[in-house]
Structure 1
């Protein structure tokens, strides 16, 4: 069985556009030419790949299986090209990274700034995703690397822990909780909360913890990013559950305190996940190494409330 890379790329474009016309446009083909290529691919595989309707196309089970493998094949072809360009090694290439909220807003910008400054030939597509979507993206080849926090089930993936962080309760200086050293999650519900936007990894995680207790947040407001959360807390809008690294950073310019969160899940391991580290291009392996170095430098003991 012979697979044409052009056909595989066209197939992926059609899947992502959910339209034969849209996929053909992305592949720089006419719609009739694209239709003939897709039909030839279906004939070769002996399987129908799409359900077609006036609204577009949807994948069949066979199409879903092919999409996963096609993405992996195409990513590996791109990695192979990168390895044998004139900029071989870790100096060139394109990486797609799916990461959780804390990684995207807190430490990856700092790590990537140094990493990319040293490698002008490398480009990075960084996207914020929920843990489950990060895992799915790495498994199906949509993403080269994933950055997650906390314990998750990662069958078929390599997991490389590189640092840890604690979730704490950030409060204004004069808040009633300021005299406490530790507080349980359920105790914080007596006060209005400032939270991250819907769809953020941390908010989804905390909602799951509360759902297990039969409770829910009294969110007074939701904002984008830990800086905005901390500014709201500083002026007394509410309290918030955030990584201790974020509070420490913003305490340099804001009047904040924090209290340790007395929960077994408050300590979260940060990890990089990938299908196979050895199969990644040199630039991806170099970025993983940079994250490990960052984690070693930032690793801190258990937090002491202040």
Structure 2
């Protein structure tokens, strides 16, 4: 059975679902709510099933709607891929690539990894956002984003996956901390200490909170900041202790009166993985960027992290 659904209507449907509101979804699509309602009713008539449940609080998906949403996202992404590939015939790569990454890769590895590619392709734009690794896998698998970077432990499933460096989380300490003389410490043993953390929305903050809950404790930083540098400044001022990747801390320990020790937990050693759909299914732009990042990681990013006792 052939369904005649317009690309505009599929994008409208996605917009409505993303904001759980027909009115706001219509606004995103630059049409009136009445026109949006008519288009959704026509879609429901075409597929022969209700797609949305309408309530005073907004709209929710029916079973048929959930199925359509998955297909709609794939169709829209394929249209974007088609547009990307056609650009190649007009000379040079151009377009936008969506990249989702966990905190450490986003702050430590991706800036340099992306800079060379962007310098070589002036008409390329990259939308870079932060998320937990499990959320990155889901977004790449459902074609919501083009490329992701995750950290172990995580299951990549059928996605194309390549190594993207390694790092290690350490405990950042004021120089006078009672923990300074220890070679390492478990995260559980630090939970009674006051913490300086990243913002509540950061993937690292959410990850640490989840680990603390699994340990039967609670991770509630008394101060939240937006960067690892600000975290180290707060630690230097004896506000609390912090958790940060060793690559960040080593930059600041030389100029600040802080120390660090290793986390003894196995999850503190982070293997980073680049993921995307299989290369042959990707548009040229996304495929070239994914291959560039994989090649960059192989030649520039760190191997296994060794952390011995002692600080500068």
The answer (yes or no) to whether the contact 1:90–1:281 under 8 Å persists in 2 is: no
Runs of 4+ in 1 over 4 A off after TM superposition: 86-90
1:302 is matched with 306
Shift of 1:252: 4.1
Deviations 1:172-230 (A, max 9, x none): 23323222222222222353221122232222222232223222236332212211111
Q: Following superposition of structure 1 onto structure 2, how do residues 19-168 of structure 1 map, counting pairs within 5 Å? A: 19-86=21-88, 91-168=93-170
**How much has 1:6 moved relative to structure 2?**
2.1
Match of 1:263 among 255, 259, 265: 265
Q: TM-score, normalised by structure 2?
A: 0.88
2:206 maps to which of 188, 204, 220: 204
Residue 17 and residue 191 in structure 1: after superposition, are their counterparts in 2 closer, same or farther (change >3 A)? closer
2:276 maps to which of 274, 278, 284: 274
CA apart distance, 1:90: 7.1
Q: Deviations over 1:209-267 (max 9, x none)?
A: 22232222363322122111111112222211211111112234323321111111111
Stretch deviating more after TM superposition (68-77 or 31-40): 31-40
Task: List alignment gaps of at least 5 residues for structure 2.
Answer: none
Match of 1:290 in 2: 292
RMSD: 2.3
SS at match of 1:124: strand
SS in 1 for 2:14: helix
2:186–2:265 contact (8 Å) kept in structure 1: yes
For the structure 1 residues 88 and 36, does the alpha-carbon distance in structure 2 shift closer, same or farther, using more than 3 Å as the test?
A: same
Please say which of residues 62-71 and 157-166 is displaced more in the overlay: 157-166
Please say if residues 93 and 281 of structure 1, whose CA atoms lie closer than 8 Å, have aligned partners that are also in contact.
no
- Counterpart position of 1:226: 228
SS class of match (1:42): helix
Shift of 1:93: 1.8
1:55 and 1:209 map into 2 onto residues whose CA distance is 34
| Aligned-partner SS, 2:222 | strand
Going from structure 1 to structure 2, the CA distance change for 1:154 and 1:89 (only over 3 Å counts) comes to farther
Conserved 8 A contact 1:97-1:127: yes
SS at match of 1:84: helix
Q: Aligned partners of 1:114 and 1:208: how far apart in 2?
A: 35
**Across the two proteins, how many residue pairs are aligned to each other?**
306
Q: Is the 8 A contact 2:85 2:285 kept in 1?
A: no
- TM-score when normalising by structure 1: 0.90
Instruction: Report the counterpart of residue 4 of structure 1 in structure 2.
Output: 6
- Mapped to 2, the partners of 1:298 and 1:172 lie a distance apart of 29
How much has 1:115 moved relative to structure 2? 2.3
CA deviation vs aligned residue, 1:8-60 (integer Å, no higher than 9, x gap): 12222222243333333333334443333222211221211111133432221
